Amino acid sequence: MAREGHEAAPSRPSPVDEAARARTRWQVATFALAGFLFALAFARLATFHHRTFDLAFYTRMAWGLSRGDLWDPFLEAHVLGLHVSPVLAPIGALGWIVGTAPALLLAQSIACALTARTLGVLAARRLGPGYFALGFSAFALHPNLVHVATYEAHPGTLALFPLALAIERLDAGSRRGFVLAVIGVLCCREDLALVTALLGLSAWSRFGRRVSLSVTLGSLAYLALFVGVLHPRFSPETGSFALHFGVFGDTPGEVLWRWLSEPSVLLSHLAEGKKATYLARVLLPLGLLPPLLGWRTCLPALPILAINLVSAFPTTPNLDSHYLSPALPFLVAGAVVGVARGRASDRRGWAIAIVGASVVFYATLGRLPNDPAFFADARTDAARTIVAAIPNDVSVQAPDPLLPHLAERPRVHRAPPPDRGAEVVVLDVSHRDRYAQREDLLRTTEEPGVRDWLARDDYGAIAAAGPYLALRRGADPRHFLEPFEGSAPETVRLTSCLGLVGAWLVPEGVALELVAHGPCPNDLALRVGPGERSRRVDLIADGLVSPSRLRAGDRFVSRHRFRPGLLDAEVWVGALRSSGARPEHGDPVKVRVPLRGGPTR
């Protein structure tokens, strides 16, 4: 009891209280990171700014696994021939409640946050509780993470948590935790078995020969089962191997023989562009030197880094590639070990340098919350319009940005070509904006394919918005043809199949009254301009109805956009084919058409 007149000295928190407070701070940081990543990922999904195929691919796989559907419609193959990722099944089950794509992004955000926490725990154990921020921040702020966690979903990213847990449990001496973490990794991706095999060898001195060999040989056997049995039996005609290594050979044996027999081929490949600076760019956000000092901890990442270096796929050497992500837990752990191996007096400086480098590289190379990718724009509105026009129970072919929102159905495919016979087909017509009002539009590589779809008897356009055009089997191919009533005579014949009745100003430009004398060639277009020498070219009926679908006697309106004030009393109109020539030799190049106050009746 304190003496009267003297204040009692404040008691210091006990070590138990300090540890509890530290864990609370760590949990808050973990929840904050998970919420931050999910908020950005969901914002990007909601605004249709996911332009990667992987999110749709794994959304469909998770949706199918949770329903016992093991056929992948994207690659027309059994899922066992693609990737063995059982972790997707429970995520797909959660998708019954919240939607599969949001469930994937949520699970991925949580996995990334738990990875950062696990690496923070490793740093706190190695260096002291105050160094939790080193492991947590070095991973959370690496520029790779925010890109991968917010623009796609991938089982390799889900594997980050069990990979980090395996490293941390190995360091803590927990045999059971280590083995369970390795199993968790293999439940995410079978091709990470090379990584877990090296993890098993790393455990030799810690857990002994039995555990080490069990993990290593078990991992290699699992990989051999996939490579030797499942993949050959169930693989699609064209797999990812050809994308990454097809320039070197058709099989793994051919690729290895090419490298061994012609080493200059491999060396010149490694010296190309981003390949030469790859490792430096990956390690600089971690301070460069500390991961090198902890190189033994980094060894299991070698298969990942080596494959990224030798791959011919163009995005593998990018800092924002998901192919890099599974290596990060090892590199961050290596940085922590590297700091721990330095002198005690230098550790604080190294930790500050690493966290500072992480902040700088995140700010310059990462995705910030104010990035346009997380906000709606005109493409967002257009995509929402198109998706709303597609029923939930029909098969679809669509461009990649739309696929995550359409993947929860038995049959869903990427946009043509080829034609998959889907009920609804969505075409990307963004080239029409790029080449708007230019004659080159008619000869682009994309436009002939769009013209052919519009000319088909079995499909018709049902929705058009922004860069997208949706067609449905059995729909009226003349749906967007805007008729006008009246009996005014044709003022001039543009070509044998098409005549001009008149023209009038509308708020967005000019409207032409046209009359058809029969079907026109499907590459027919109009020259519509303010003067006789104007080279501007426009599609008929805004390019939403094929001229070949016109019928004799059709009287319709074709609208054409002009800047306000560009047209006054007249407009010049002519017809042309994709060759740039008039449809027929005797057709007029252009005719002068007075502008009226409204449609002719």
Q: Do 80 and 41 share a structural domain?
A: yes
Q: Do 362 and 450 share a structural domain?
A: no
pLDDT (0 to 100) of residue 8: 54
Residue 596's DSSP bridge partners are 504
- Tell me whether residue 212 is in a domain: yes
| Intra-chain end-to-end CA distance of the chain, in Å | 106
Residue 428's DSSP bridge partners are 468
Helices (H), 141-262: 143-151, 155-158, 160-172, 175-188, 193-202, 204-207, 209-225, 231-234, 240-245, 252-261
pLDDT (0 to 100) of residue 369: 95
Q: Do 570 and 532 share a structural domain?
A: yes
Residue 77's DSSP bridge partners are 72
What number of CA atoms fall less than 13 Å from residue 201's CA on the CB side?
13
Report the alpha-carbon distance of residue 421 to residue 218 in Å, rounded: 43
Q: Do 301 and 427 share a structural domain?
A: no
Q: Which of 327, 352, 373 lies at the terminal end of a domain, its last residue?
A: 373
Q: DSSP class of residue 407?
A: -
Q: SS3 string of 306-334?
A: HHHHHCCCCCCCCCCCCCCHHHHHHHHHH
Report the alpha-carbon distance of residue 326 to residue 155 in Å, rounded: 10
Q: Do 316 and 342 share a structural domain?
A: yes
- Tell me whether residue 539 is in a domain: yes
Residue 572's DSSP bridge partners are 529, 592
- The sign of the dihedral angle between the CA atoms of 96, 102, 108, 112 is negative
Look up residue 220 and give its two tokens.
């290699």
Task: Note down the domain range covering 420.
Answer: 378-473
pLDDT (0 to 100) of residue 249: 74
Check whether the bond before 417 is cis (ω within 30° of 0): yes
Q: Which of 312, 345, 373 lies at the terminal end of a domain, its last residue?
A: 373
Report the alpha-carbon distance of residue 105 to residue 120 in Å, rounded: 23
Number of domains composing the chain: 3
What number of CA atoms fall less than 13 Å from residue 253's CA on the CB side?
1
Q: Do 341 and 205 share a structural domain?
A: yes
Quickly tell me which residue has 């020539």 as its tokens. 581
- Tell me whether residue 249 is in a domain: no
φ/ψ of residue 72, rounded to 5: -95, 115
Cβ burial, residue 354 (10 Å; 0-12/13-18/19+): buried
- Tell me whether residue 254 is in a domain: no
Q: Is residue 337 within 8 Å of 356, Cβ to Cβ?
A: no
Report the alpha-carbon distance of residue 535 to residue 511 in Å, rounded: 18
Q: Do 488 and 456 share a structural domain?
A: no
- Concatenating the DSSP letter of every residue in 424-474 gives EEEEE-THHHHTTT-GGGGGSSSHHHHHHHHT-SSEEEEEEETTEEEEEET
Q: Do 444 and 351 share a structural domain?
A: no
Q: Which of 373, 396, 431 lies at the terminal end of a domain, its last residue?
A: 373
Q: Do 395 and 514 share a structural domain?
A: no
Q: How many residues does the chain have?
A: 601
CATH number at residue 564: 2.60.40
Q: How far is CA 492 from the centre of its chain?
A: 51
Give, for 55, the enclosing helix (H) or strand (E). Answer: helix 53-65
- Tell me whether residue 262 is in a domain: no
- What does pLDDT average to in each consecutive run of 10 residues of the chain (601 residues)? 50 69 90 97 95 92 95 93 93 96 97 98 94 96 95 94 98 96 96 96 94 96 92 78 71 78 80 85 91 92 92 86 95 95 87 94 94 95 97 96 96 95 97 94 95 96 97 96 88 95 91 96 94 91 96 95 86 94 93 79 52
Question: Pairing relation of β-strands 424-428 and 396-398?
Answer: parallel
pLDDT (0 to 100) of residue 22: 80
- Tell me whether residue 57 is in a domain: yes
- Tell me whether residue 152 is in a domain: yes
Q: Do 454 and 557 share a structural domain?
A: no
Predicted TM-score (pTM) of the model is: 0.90
Q: Do 220 and 179 share a structural domain?
A: yes
Give, for 482, the enclosing helix (H) or strand (E). Answer: strand 482-483
Q: Do 540 and 423 share a structural domain?
A: no
Angle of helix 15-46 versus helix 100-127 axis, rounded to 10: 150
- Tell me whether residue 244 is in a domain: no
